[in-house]
Structure 1
Amino acid sequence: YLAEQYGAGQLLPQSIAERAQVDQWLSFIVTEIEQPLWLQAKHKFALPQDKRVPSVLPTAAWEFQRALLALERRYRGQENLVGDTFTLADLFLTHTLTWATSMKHRLPEPLVAYRARHANRPALARAAEKEQAAAQAT
């Protein structure tokens, strides 16, 4: 919704075929890459102490690494995940890979380069500034 409403036509491709690829990537990112990270986060700090199950952490790390291998096979080092422009899929993947690095996961070199390239986009810096200003205002 946000990409369609406020993305000025820049985050979602016009082509139906490319839009389907973006949707496919978004599903993969959320279900296969982000899910084990969130599982780790819940059992490290988000859940109440008595609900945490530390024994799931190695399995979640294994799931994440397995998903990264699948991602690396499909990604093939191109500038963007779909077509020639930055899309919502790139935004999601950059955010998720940044989260993974903050959790001390090692990324394959092509994904390190991908994340660095997109994490240095001027729009991301502007968004981070707005987020920080909003946090300080409360």
Structure 2
Amino acid sequence: MYKVYGRIQSRASRVIWMLEELGVPYEFVNVGPHDPQVLALNPSGKIPVLVDGDEVICDSSAIMTYLADKHGALTYSAGTVERAAQDSVFYALLDELDGVLWVATRHAFILPEEKRVPQIVETAKWEFDRNLQRLEKRFKGPFLLGDKMTIADILLVHCMSWAKGAGFPLNSDVLNTYGKEMRNRPGYQKLAELAKDT
């Protein structure tokens, strides 16, 4: 059984949603970053952490890729043009949405107060909005890459939910409709139920 360390209100939710989509058993350990249990597994103290038997995997994107490849689901096969397209979108999401959100979050309340630059948050909102509207042009439907749901969908919907909670603009009717449909999936609903209990 997999064991996931993290908080629902973090990137760990991506991993939990994915495990629900895969339909595989897992144990969720509700701990925050730098918790002693996390530090024992990941010297950086960052979450999420996935334990698979004796193996420890850190970073949500690495965990998602590992699980997708291991289970042969939510991904295209390595070495195919479709996988290259998936990787292209996945890495763009990490850079252009996730990275922008993380910079804004750090300057909003994570960094020591004397190190924060509040103006960065407004710049990040502008950049996120621009990048999301560019992404809309790559959307194929019904999923991001077409007929098959992939880890890129989980990443995108998580970033959109994070953005909404942080007051970022979501100026894309196409992607907002898609996001609503994705959040109605049973796997996401299980994640939402877990969030209420933690």
Q: TM-score, normalised by structure 2?
A: 0.61
Q: 1:68 aligns to what? A: 132
**Superposition pairs for residues 31-70 of structure 1, below 5 Å?**
31-70=95-134
Q: 2:176 aligns to what? A: 112
Instruction: Tell me which amino acid in the other structure corresponds to 2:179.
Output: R
Measured in 2, the distance between the counterparts of 1:95 and 1:63 equals 18
SS of the aligned residue for 1:74 comes to coil
Question: Which structure shows the higher strand fraction?
Answer: 2
Measured in 2, the distance between the counterparts of 1:55 and 1:104 equals 15
Unaligned runs of at least 5 residues, structure 2: 1-65
Q: 2:72 aligns to what? A: 9
Instruction: Tell me which amino acid in the other structure corresponds to 2:74.
Output: L
Measured in 2, the distance between the counterparts of 1:97 and 1:49 equals 26
Give CA deviations for 1:80-99 in whole Å, capped at 9, x if unaligned: 11231111111110111111
Measured in 2, the distance between the counterparts of 1:14 and 1:127 equals 27
Measured in 2, the distance between the counterparts of 1:104 and 1:56 equals 14
Give the % identical residues: 37
Question: Which structure shows the higher helix fraction?
Answer: 1
Q: CA deviation at 1:14?
A: 3.1
**Superposition pairs for residues 77-92 of structure 1, below 5 Å?**
78-92=141-155
Give CA deviations for 1:90-122 in whole Å, capped at 9, x if unaligned: 111011111111112232111110111111110
Q: CA deviation at 1:37?
A: 1.1
Query: How many residues were matched structurally?
Result: 131
Give CA deviations for 1:27-82 in whole Å, capped at 9, x if unaligned: 11000111111111111111121111112122111111111121112225x11112
Pick 1 or 2: higher relative contact order, CA cutoff 8 A, min separation 6: 1
- Report whether the alignment pairs 1:99 with 2:162: yes
